[in-house]
Amino acid sequence: MTATPVGSYAVDTGTGRVGMVMGYEGPYAQLRPPGGGREWDCPPEELRTATPAERIRAVNGYANARSRGEVS
């Protein structure tokens, strides 16, 4: 299995969350949500590259929440 590259968007299949791969620390991949925020750990075997549609949906979801004042 090939590691998802740092800087790419990926899906944590355990949670369904989409994030940018920030790096690998110990046995985990570290992902950050679109727009920033707290990183979370994901076992690499539960990680897959996000499709273009998943990436757009995640980024647009963040932008919409920000425009409604739900995130700063």
21 within domain boundaries: yes
How big is the CA angle at 34 (ends 30 and 38), to the nearest 5 degrees? 50
Q: How many domains is the chain partitioned into structurally?
A: 1
3 within domain boundaries: no
User: What pLDDT tens digit does each residue of the chain (72 aa) get?
Assistant: 568 999 999 999 999 999 999 999 999 999 999 988 899 999 999 999 999 999 999 989 888 888 888 876
1 within domain boundaries: no
47 within domain boundaries: yes
CA distance 60 to 14: 22
Domain that holds residue 45: 9-67
56 within domain boundaries: yes
62 within domain boundaries: yes
31 within domain boundaries: yes
